[in-house]
Structure 1
């Protein structure tokens, strides 16, 4: 989310600071654009929600490329929280902002975003996804900012590197604590009341650790450009090297070992096939490594594509909340045109698709580009508004 937006209120930023924040916005913009591709595939593709079949390389890689999104978003929210506090704000002020914004984001997840997925407010199904993970991670970080930065880093490492030690624990083995374990570590559906269910797609651990990692590395973004670039490239390369070494060993870091396939490509895809729900250590190393490298390489980027991504990256909250009903309504229109029935798209979270519905990947990519084109004017106008005005409420949108 647009956790960096408070930074726009600082007066007369230095040229290097402007470039630094532009690189953050650009990488965040790339993440939101790829996220839109994933959601377009959810509603328009013929496949299920999380295709992991290594025999279908094009579909697998389309899904795999979007894995970059959530870790990058949440890590950059931590970076932005550090930068927000680095402009003379006391820890208490930063903590209050993170707490109130986190609560707001959780509220939006279960209202506006839930409506985008279901197109109804009466389905009785609430879905805890990335906004839920971001909001609760901000609430956790609101407490962590009172600790020394080294302690925040230690919490980040413990959650990211250690949570796979708990993979063998199942909710049903914990009796009355099963509810809490589903919220924390194992995806599942919880019965909140008669007719009211919570589908936990994003268990919380280790997402607060990812945001804490971003907060801990925040000072890198205040270093001089040459040192910042070197540190980011080094961090990205180290994460990727660690991923390759640990993944090759099949010893730890992901609940599913990679296997040799019938072809070299299938073997390579199996190597990349890491668990997202919850994100394993190897999943995070595989995605955050490229994120750090892109942050280094995107500084000073110019051109229409860079400007467009930067613009989207400055208004990710608006983009996220609006793009879901846009995609969903387009899917309703296609269902009416192709199968003559739309009811199955109302009140269900990515429902099973009827025979005859669904596009191949070229069609999915075409719809994705159309969605971006539809989103562009609104996002452009809102980005311009945020550049002109610094009202406190804009930092929550």
Structure 2
């Protein structure tokens, strides 16, 4: 293997390591949703009511979605290097639309286990899908166009927090879907609803920034300069987060609260808004991601090898983990003494409001679930490496 190929291998490994790490942590929050006794009734990030461990359990998962979206943009750039602009754009368009369908049909069912689709949940895959559609369009113009739009979206979308929402219902809904959604429920009839939890364009901005960073990972790019760039921009993002958080003027729709208690003040400082991803939230999470991406190039051990397995098949892992978690939920539901008359609940079937375990139970189920998916992920990784079927590009 040439030194150039070795660099490419190391580069891709560093991406898979970080992606695998966030995929594993992400599953902790979904496990909490299904199994924590207070998941349906409390806010784990509210300094007034939370505990240190509960806050940490929710807060650590804040880093997952933006890192995954950023890496999706980075991977899109790398993939495009082996295609003509037209081929790359067409692939992004088709994959983006496919992901939207997956969110509606496959992920929503995995979350709810409701075959009637009374409640369709639109989350990160929906946002990634539409972001890829926009990336397909703007990447045809130029790399610089994508980067500039990404910067504008990330820095500027919180400007809508400063103005009242439109009185026009249609205009208000469009604004929520594309910019401000934090749990918008849209009725499609008496018994069918769509929950828009991820506003599209703030996440599009993060993906576009990932696409912009892809140039640093080109095969002819100096690895030392790449690491310097990642560390410098990571530090700038983190400094900007601290500055904006202290100023409290712009960058988050929920201003930081002041408490007499030092511990509550600390929690409040880091209680940034994810829905939609505020500028402060993005600076914090992507800042940390850039630093981790820089230092992970030097990591090569058994643990990082395990992480890279999960990170190399993220779509497979993401879909399967919902179905595995919900299947475990059904088993625990009946073992807990519930019957068929208790099945219906919103938004997840088999998940009554007063149900679940303390955090120790959540962590135990999370660990078991992650370990159970290791060998299936390892098998699928090898399958993808040894097969060239067209549909593998979409999973």
TM-score, length of structure 2 as denominator length: 0.92
Match of 1:92 in 2: 86
Q: Paired residue for 1:196, among 192, 196, 200?
A: 192
Change beyond 3 A, Cα 1:103–1:170: farther
5+ unaligned residues in a row in structure 2: which ranges?
A: none
Q: Paired residue for 2:111, among 93, 105, 117?
A: 117
Q: Give me the whole-angstrom Cα distance separating, in 1, the residues matched to 2:164 and 2:190.
A: 24
Match of 2:280 in 1: 282
Match of 1:152 in 2: 146
Q: Paired residue for 1:53, among 46, 59, 65?
A: 46
Q: Give me the whole-angstrom Cα distance separating, in 2, the residues matched to 1:95 and 1:373.
A: 37
Q: Give me the whole-angstrom Cα distance separating, in 1, the residues matched to 2:89 and 2:344.
A: 39
Question: Deviation of residue 35 (structure 1)?
Answer: 1.0
1:219-249 CA distance string (max 9 Å, x none):
1112222111111111111100110011111
RMSD of the TM alignment (CA)? 2.0
Match of 2:12 in 1: 21
5+ unaligned residues in a row in structure 1: which ranges?
A: 1-10
TM-score, length of structure 1 as denominator length: 0.92
Q: Give me the whole-angstrom Cα distance separating, in 1, the residues matched to 2:323 and 2:16.
A: 24
Question: Deviation of residue 168 (structure 1)?
Answer: 4.5
Question: Deviation of residue 60 (structure 1)?
Answer: 1.0
Query: How many residue pairs are counted as aligned between the two chains?
Result: 385
Q: Paired residue for 1:66, among 61, 67, 85?
A: 61
| Kept after mapping to 2: 8 A contact 1:164/1:280 | yes
Q: Give me the whole-angstrom Cα distance separating, in 1, the residues matched to 2:300 and 2:169.
A: 56
Question: Deviation of residue 120 (structure 1)?
Answer: 2.2
Q: Give me the whole-angstrom Cα distance separating, in 1, the residues matched to 2:339 and 2:163.
A: 42
Secondary structure of the 2:188 match is: strand
Q: Give me the whole-angstrom Cα distance separating, in 1, the residues matched to 2:102 and 2:315.
A: 10
Q: Give me the whole-angstrom Cα distance separating, in 1, the residues matched to 2:171 and 2:128.
A: 23
Q: Give me the whole-angstrom Cα distance separating, in 2, the residues matched to 1:174 and 1:298.
A: 49
Match of 1:205 in 2: 201
Match of 1:42 in 2: 33
Q: Give me the whole-angstrom Cα distance separating, in 2, the residues matched to 1:154 and 1:219.
A: 14
| Kept after mapping to 2: 8 A contact 1:33/1:372 | yes
Q: Give me the whole-angstrom Cα distance separating, in 2, the residues matched to 1:312 and 1:13.
A: 25
Alignment of 1:149-298 (within 5 A): 149-169=143-163, 173-184=167-178, 185-186=180-181, 187-222=183-218, 223-298=221-296
Match of 1:3 in 2: none
Question: Deviation of residue 174 (structure 1)?
Answer: 2.6
Secondary structure of the 1:70 match is: helix
Question: Deviation of residue 261 (structure 1)?
Answer: 2.5
Question: Deviation of residue 56 (structure 1)?
Answer: 1.5
Question: Deviation of residue 13 (structure 1)?
Answer: 6.8
Change beyond 3 A, Cα 1:29–1:345: farther
